[in-house]
Amino acid sequence: MVKTVERRSTGSSLDIAPLGGLGEFGMNMMTYRLDESMVVVDTGIMFPATEHAGVDLILPDTSYIEEHLKGLQGIVLTHAHEDHIGALPHFVERFGVPVYGTKLTLAMVRKRLIQHSLQDKVELVEITPGAHFSIGAFDTELIHMTHSLADAVAVVFDTPVGKVLHTGDFKVDESPPVGPPIDLKRLAALGDEGVMCMLSDSTNAEVSGRTGAEASVGEAFETIIRDAPGRVLLSCFTSSTHRIQVAIDVAVKFGRKVALVGRSMVENVHTAIDVGYLRVPAGVLWATEDLGNIPKSKQLVITAGSQGEQLSALSQIANETHRFIKLDPGDRVILSSRIIPGNERSVNRVVNKLFRIGADVIQPGGAKVHVSGHGSAEDLDMVLRLVKPQSFIPIHGEWRQLFHHANLAREAGVDPDDVFLAEDGDVVRIDDAGAQMVGHFDTEPVMVDGSGLGLVEDCIVRDRRRLAATGVIVPMVSLTPGRRPEVSDILTRGFIENENAEALLSEAHDAMLAAISKLADDEADNENAIEDVVEATLKRFFRKRGVRRPVILPVVVQGEEEP
DSSP secondary structure string, 493-539? Answer: ESS--STTHHHHHHHHHHHHHHHHHTS-HHHHT-HHHHHHHHHHHHH
pLDDT value for 298: 96
* Structural contact between residues 2 and 388, judged by C-beta atoms closer than 8 angstroms: yes
C-alpha Rg value of the chain to the nearest Å: 29
Within a 13 Å sphere around the CA of 67, how many CA atoms are in the beta-carbon half?
7
- What is the mean predicted confidence (pLDDT) over 45-51? 66
* Structural contact between residues 335 and 300, judged by C-beta atoms closer than 8 angstroms: no
pLDDT value for 159: 96
Using left for φ > 0, alpha for ψ between -120 and 50, and beta otherwise, residue 117 falls in: left
Name the nearest CA neighbour of 305 among 333, 277, 270.
333
H-helix or E-strand spanning residue 260: strand 257-261
> Cβ atoms within 10 A of the Cβ of 353, count?
19
> Cβ atoms within 10 A of the Cβ of 285, count?
17
Q: How far apart are CA 194 and CA 160, in angstroms?
A: 13
**Residues whose CB is less than 8 angstroms from the CB of residue 500 and which lie 6 or more positions away in sequence, other chains included:** none
**Residues whose CB is less than 8 angstroms from the CB of residue 192 and which lie 6 or more positions away in sequence, other chains included:** 3
pLDDT value for 53: 45
Name the nearest CA neighbour of 16 among 393, 384, 390.
393
Does 460 have pLDDT greater than 70? no
Within a 13 Å sphere around the CA of 183, how many CA atoms are in the beta-carbon half?
20
b/e 234-250 (16+ beta carbons within 10 angstroms → b)? bbbbbbbbbbbbbbbbb
Share of the chain above pLDDT 90, in %: 67
Does 52 have pLDDT greater than 50? no
Does 243 have pLDDT greater than 80? yes
- pLDDT tens digits, 387-436: 999 999 999 999 999 999 999 999 999 999 999 999 999 999 999 889 99
DSSP 3-state assignment of 89? helix
DSSP secondary structure string, 198-224? Answer: EEEE-TTTTS-S-PPPGGGHHHHHHHH
Model's pTM, two decimal places? Answer: 0.81
Does residue 40 or residue 446 have the better pLDDT? 40
pLDDT value for 482: 67
- pLDDT tens digits, 356-365: 999 999 999 8
**Residues whose CB is less than 8 angstroms from the CB of residue 54 and which lie 6 or more positions away in sequence, other chains included:** 449, 451, 456, 461, 464
Does residue 9 or residue 452 have the better pLDDT? 9
Domains and CATH numbers, the chain: 14-210+372-438 (3.60.15.10), 214-362 (3.40.50.10710), 457-558 (3.10.20.580)
DSSP secondary structure string, 293-355? Answer: GS-GGGEEEEES-TT--TTSHHHHHHTT--SS----TT-EEEE-SPPPTT-HHHHHHHHHHHH
Name the nearest CA neighbour of 371 among 172, 102, 166, 86.
172
* Structural contact between residues 314 and 322, judged by C-beta atoms closer than 8 angstroms: no
> Cβ atoms within 10 A of the Cβ of 73, count?
17
Does 457 have pLDDT greater than 60? no
* Structural contact between residues 478 and 485, judged by C-beta atoms closer than 8 angstroms: yes
Q: Identify the band that residue 513 occupies on the pLDDT scale cut at 50, 70 and 90.
A: confident
Helix axes 263-274, 103-115, angle to 10 degrees: 140
pLDDT value for 541: 83
Does 450 have pLDDT greater than 50? yes
DSSP secondary structure string, 169-196? Answer: S-B--SS-SSS----HHHHHHHHHH--S
- What is the mean predicted confidence (pLDDT) over 284-296? 94
Burial class (CB in 10 A: 0-12, 13-18, 19+), 332: buried
* Structural contact between residues 490 and 509, judged by C-beta atoms closer than 8 angstroms: yes
* Structural contact between residues 47 and 57, judged by C-beta atoms closer than 8 angstroms: yes
* Structural contact between residues 390 and 1, judged by C-beta atoms closer than 8 angstroms: no
User: What are residue 249's phi and psi, to 5 degrees?
Assistant: -60, -40
- pLDDT tens digits, 196-236: 999 999 999 999 999 999 999 999 999 999 999 999 999 99
Does 451 have pLDDT greater than 50? no
b/e 28-51 (16+ beta carbons within 10 angstroms → b)? bbbbbbbbebbbbbbbbbbbbeee
pLDDT value for 562: 52
Q: Identify the band that residue 555 occupies on the pLDDT scale cut at 50, 70 and 90.
A: confident
How many helices (DSSP H) and strands (DSSP E) are in the chain? 16, 27
Q: How far apart are CA 137 and CA 463, in angstroms?
A: 46
pLDDT value for 474: 80
Least confident of 112-121, 178-187, 200-209, 295-304: 112-121
- pLDDT tens digits, 164-200: 999 999 999 999 999 999 999 999 999 999 999 999 9
Share of the chain above pLDDT 70, in %: 90
- pLDDT tens digits, 260-283: 999 999 999 999 999 999 999 999
- What is the mean predicted confidence (pLDDT) over 29-35? 96
* Structural contact between residues 13 and 428, judged by C-beta atoms closer than 8 angstroms: no
pLDDT value for 9: 57
Name the nearest CA neighbour of 235 among 312, 292, 295.
312
Average pLDDT of the chain? 88
Does residue 59 or residue 478 have the better pLDDT? 59
* Structural contact between residues 146 and 152, judged by C-beta atoms closer than 8 angstroms: yes
* Structural contact between residues 64 and 6, judged by C-beta atoms closer than 8 angstroms: no
Q: Helix H segments across 358-483?
A: 377-387, 399-411, 458-470
